[in-house]
Amino acid sequence: MTDAEIASIARTGAGGVSPGFGVYVHWPFCLSKCPYCDFNSHVRHAAIDETRFVRAFQSEIAHAAARVPGRTVSSIFFGGGTPSLMAPETVGAILDAIARHWSIAPDVEVTLEANPTSVEAQKFRGYRAAGINRVSLGVQSLDDAALAQLGRLHSAREALDAVAVARDTFARFSFDLIYARPEQTPDAWRGELRRALEQEPEHLSLYQLTIESDTPFATLYAAGKLPIPDHDAARALYEITQEITAAHGLPPYEVSNHARHGAECRHNLVYWRCGEYAGVGPGAHGRLDVDGRRHATATEKHPERWLIRVESRGHGLVVDEALSREERGDELLLMGLRLAEGIDPEKFAEVAGRPIDPARIAEFANSGSW
Ligand SMILES: C[S@@+](CC[C@H](N)C(=O)[O-])C[C@H]1O[C@@H](n2cnc3c(N)ncnc32)[C@H](O)[C@@H]1O
Ligand code: SF4
């Protein structure tokens, strides 16, 4: 089988179901840095020159489209950082650039991550007019003391109000909660999760708190000042999560993501099914099929250095590596292990050129790398 045939199988899936083609847009700024977060997010005290950023996004989109022309975009995701700090006009200009270079599927999913403050909720109608049809809100907790501990700038009331505005404004919405927080009891989590489900979301992302290195939470944890649940207690909280969400018709389709049937986040499924996606903006990752080879791409992380790089070269790429069949097989395993639907053995064999090795699965499962 030729490399081009392998690339096309990966795009369409062995069973003929296409994971789609996604575009990820990274907005790297936040109003403040949450003490648990290691995302590529930066705080700036001066105003951001959004016009300059739009021009750079337009260049990167044109560059990616020249490498992978003729695709039909099935999902677009504005992630961050805090994309809800962008002006709706900025979002609209980036969407226009995507539509100028690729075809857009009639049922395209266009998601924007938003922080649930009243200021941001006021911009929701503008985002809808710009073309956003789904929002994902970072609620994190419905407990004010926990929100303060997480360094969040909103209260539980404000978050619920933003959820209500999202429900009235967009066809689809989701929100995120973080559990296994310091001193969180099973009963407290049950109550919080039930209140979240009362909002009748079609989709919820429920993440266990992870202590990321080089964050203030990592320092507190190392000093014994962050009493998070141990492995067994966290597992019990995970099981409570599965039980309650399934009882409310929101079973997990991925380790931390729950949805009503048909309301799964299509963009994230592109990643987990190892589909093709372009990543634009500072620190964005992509997977592109160029000349019959799957390429892993990444851009410069630092926002202003990314701008300068794009302005001088037309793109901010710092990584652009063709993956071997071995590496592609490992990616399919690592991503597929996250999904309730699992891994299609036929697709695996066609892409990786070898059957699935149970020992390799055990290795990944035990390493915790997924
Ligand atoms: C890029 S952030 C979301 C966007 C937005 N800036 C916000 O904070 O609401 C994506 C999500 O990852 C989750 N997250 C970030 N750091 C985490 C950590 N250390 N442990 C668990 N979840 C985390 C949060 O739920 C967050 O909403
Ligand atoms: S959690 Fe969200 S708001 Fe907080 S620093 Fe990370 S990206 Fe920014």
How many angstroms separate the CA atoms of 91 and 78, rounded? 8
Work out whether strand 285-290 and strand 293-299 pair parallel, antiparallel, or are unpaired: antiparallel
How many angstroms separate the CA atoms of 205 and 87, rounded? 25
Does this model's pTM top 0.85? My answer is yes
Q: Has residue 1 got a pLDDT over 80?
A: no
- The reply to whether ligand 2 has any atom less than 6 angstroms from the CB of 84 is no
Other beta carbons within 10 angstroms of residue 358's beta carbon come to: 8
How many angstroms separate the CA atoms of 147 and 141, rounded? 6
How many angstroms separate the CA atoms of 202 and 174, rounded? 7
Please identify which residue in the block is written with the tokens 């048909």: 262
**Quick one: three-class SS letters along 242-306?**
HHHHHHCCCCEEECCEEECCCCCCHHHHHHHCCCEEEEECCCCEEEEEECCEEEEEEECCCHHHH
Which atom from ligand 2 is nearest to the alpha carbon of 138? 2
- The reply to whether ligand 2 has any atom less than 6 angstroms from the CB of 37 is yes
Residue with the nearest Cα to atom 6 of ligand 2? 37
Sequence-separated (6 or more) residues with CB below 8 Å from residue 262: none
Which of the ligands is closest to the CA of residue 181?
A: 1
Closest by Cα among 227, 176, 200 to 39? 176
Q: Has residue 14 got a pLDDT over 50?
A: no
Which of the ligands is closest to the CA of residue 152?
A: 2
3-state helix, strand, coil split of the chain in percent (to 5) is 45, 20, 35
Other beta carbons within 10 angstroms of residue 125's beta carbon come to: 14
How many angstroms separate the CA atoms of 98 and 280, rounded? 11
Residue with the nearest Cα to atom 4 of ligand 2? 34
- The reply to whether ligand 2 has any atom less than 6 angstroms from the CB of 34 is yes
Which atom from ligand 1 is nearest to the alpha carbon of 30? 6
For 114-141, what is each residue's pLDDT tens digit?
Answer: 999 988 999 999 999 999 999 999 999 9
Residue with the nearest Cα to atom 7 of ligand 1? 138
Query: Per the structure block, which two tokens stand in for 297?
Result: 């791409």
Q: Is the C-alpha dihedral spanning 82, 86, 88, 92 positive or negative? A: negative
**Ligand 1 centroid distance, CA of 176 (Å):** 8
**Ligand 2: which of 30, 115, 147 to mutate, judged by most atoms within 8 Å of the beta carbon?**
30
**Quick one: three-class SS letters along 141-174?**
CCCHHHHHHCCCCCCHHHHHHHHHHHHHHCCEEE
**Ligand 2 centroid distance, CA of 271 (Å):** 21
Cross-strand partners of 176: 205
- The reply to whether ligand 2 has any atom less than 6 angstroms from the CB of 30 is yes
Cross-strand partners of 74: none
The residue type found at 146 is A
Span 216-222, mean pLDDT? 98
For 298-329, what is each residue's pLDDT tens digit?
Answer: 999 999 999 999 999 999 999 999 999 999 99
User: Given pLDDT bands bounded at 50, 70 and 90, which one contains residue 26?
Assistant: very high
Span 273-286, mean pLDDT? 97
Other beta carbons within 10 angstroms of residue 271's beta carbon come to: 20
Which of the ligands is closest to the CA of residue 180?
A: 1
Residue with the nearest Cα to atom 2 of ligand 2? 81
Residue 184 and residue 146 in contact, taking contact as beta carbons nearer than 8 Å: yes
Cross-strand partners of 186: none
Percent of all residues in the chain with a pLDDT value above 90, rounded to a whole number: 90
For 180-195, what is each residue's pLDDT tens digit?
Answer: 999 999 999 999 999 9
Buried b (16+ CB within 10 A) or exposed e, 274-306: bbbbbbbbbbbebbbbeeebbbbbbbbbebeeb
Residue 91 and residue 57 in contact, taking contact as beta carbons nearer than 8 Å: no
Other beta carbons within 10 angstroms of residue 366's beta carbon come to: 8
**Ligand 2 centroid distance, CA of 112 (Å):** 14
**Ligand 1: which of 26, 207, 257 to mutate, judged by most atoms within 8 Å of the beta carbon?**
207
Which atom from ligand 1 is nearest to the alpha carbon of 217? 19
Q: Has residue 213 got a pLDDT over 70?
A: yes
**Ligand 1 centroid distance, CA of 3 (Å):** 37
For ligand 1, which residues put their CB under 6 angstroms from it?
A: 30, 36-37, 39, 79-80, 82, 113, 115, 138, 140, 176, 178, 207, 209-210, 212
**Ligand 2: which of 31, 33, 36, 37 to mutate, judged by most atoms within 8 Å of the beta carbon?**
37
**H/E element holding 365?**
helix 358-367
Which of the ligands is closest to the CA of residue 114?
A: 1
Which atom from ligand 2 is nearest to the alpha carbon of 81? 7
Span 186-207, mean pLDDT? 98
Other beta carbons within 10 angstroms of residue 175's beta carbon come to: 25
Q: Has residue 4 got a pLDDT over 70?
A: no
